[in-house]
A = this chain, B = another copy of it.
Amino acid sequence: MFMKNDFFGKDVISVNDYSREDLELLFSRTNEMKKLVEERGGDERLKRKMMAALFYEPSSRTFSSFISAMQRLGGGIIPLNGMTNTSVAKGETLEDTARVFSAYVDVLVIRHSQAGSLATAAKYCSKPIINAGEGATGEHPTQAFIDLFTIKKIFGRIEGLHFLIIGDLAHYRPTNSLMMALTNFKNITLTLATPKQVPIQDYVRKFLKVSKISFSETSEFDKLLPEVDVLYVTRVKKEYMSESLYREIQGSYIVNNSLVKKMKKKSLIMHCLPRIDEIDKEVDDDPRSVYFRDQLQNGLYVRMALLDLVLNKD
């Protein structure tokens, strides 16, 4: 089946810009990339193309998988893990910085602390911007793509699954993107369990309420565990809250073996990492835990696929 490449030459800022068909194209290209890496490590399809990775906030996975992805496809990199030694130190705005880098590269991958800033920067930038995580309350669309690809690869489908997402959802951009992206699929049940101080962002709640998703919020999730297909655990994002709030909610949801033994045999335990203490290490070896396996590994393949689709028309 021929699929139109709606990613070509465009920014990747919000999951809401993509249809079910777009996601299927991305997943299909991701499968090709997985095969390519496993068989040959990569190829030369992005030769003489350049990617700037501009990370205003700390990153390990997103930064390194994009850097690896670009080079595995033959492209070059401007790797800036931290922007303090750039003109940002002299007071340059994100708009101006994006415009500058766009003169030298073919695509910009940007992580920034301000939700909404990338859409503004994109207006001034002649090259595609890929959102690598934006603001405490914004989106992290490529992580959602990875999560969906991982789930589909294992379950064979996304439709009909029950998702339970737990933790600090007030400051968690990857799950903001994941939840909104789930509205592309049928018969999804989505339950959120958060400490009352850190509920989901209002704009996401509103988005979900007008969707066809079966959506509910709770503060206790133990009894749901036998029903869920996907348990998604999130980190309490200390860097985005006061020390006192952190002390209040830290450790409120700790996932350990005694909890996950309630889950179905065919289910998934996900986390987009880093994990601090919210998943006990004893859970790492559970066969349903994919956070150090497929979910992590697919980060490379999805980002290779995305760079390919954004930079190559065919």
Contacts and interface: CB of A to CB of B under 8 A. Distances in A.
A92 to B, nearest CB: 4
Contact of A105 (B68, B99, B104, B105): B68
A48 B72 contact: yes
B41 A48 contact: yes
A28 interface: no
A211 to B, nearest CB: 31
Interface in A155-204: none
Given A64-B80, A65-B103, 11 more contacts: A52-B64, A58-B84, A58-B85, A59-B86, A61-B87, A71-B77, A79-B79, A81-B85, A82-B84, A82-B85, A96-B275
A85 B111 CA distance: 12
Contact of A64 (B59, B90, B101, B292): B101
Contact of A49 (B41, B57, B300): B41
Nearest to A77: B71
15 contacts: A50-B68, A50-B71, A58-B85, A58-B89, A59-B85, A61-B100, A63-B78, A64-B80, A78-B79, A91-B276, A92-B273, A92-B275, A96-B292, A97-B274, A104-B300
B48 A103 contact: no
Contact of A103 (B89, B92, B297): B297
Contacts of A96: 273-275, 292
Contact of A85 (B55, B97, B99, B239): B55
Contacts of A99: 292, 296
A98 to B, nearest CB: 11
Contacts of A57: 85
A238 interface: yes
A106 B300 CA distance: 13
A296 B100 CA distance: 7
**How many copies of the chain does the oligomer comprise?**
3
A67 interface: yes
B100 A87 contact: no
Contacts of A140: none
B274 A65 contact: no
A99 B275 CA distance: 12
A274 B87 contact: yes
A108 to B, nearest CB: 11
Given A64-B52, A85-B59, A86-B59, A274 B91 contact: yes
A230 to B, nearest CB: 20
Contacts of A106: 41
A68 B108 CA distance: 13
A78 B103 contact: no
A190 B300 CA distance: 49
A58 B297 CA distance: 29
Nearest to A57: B85
B105 A60 contact: no
B64 A87 contact: no
Contacts of A235: 90
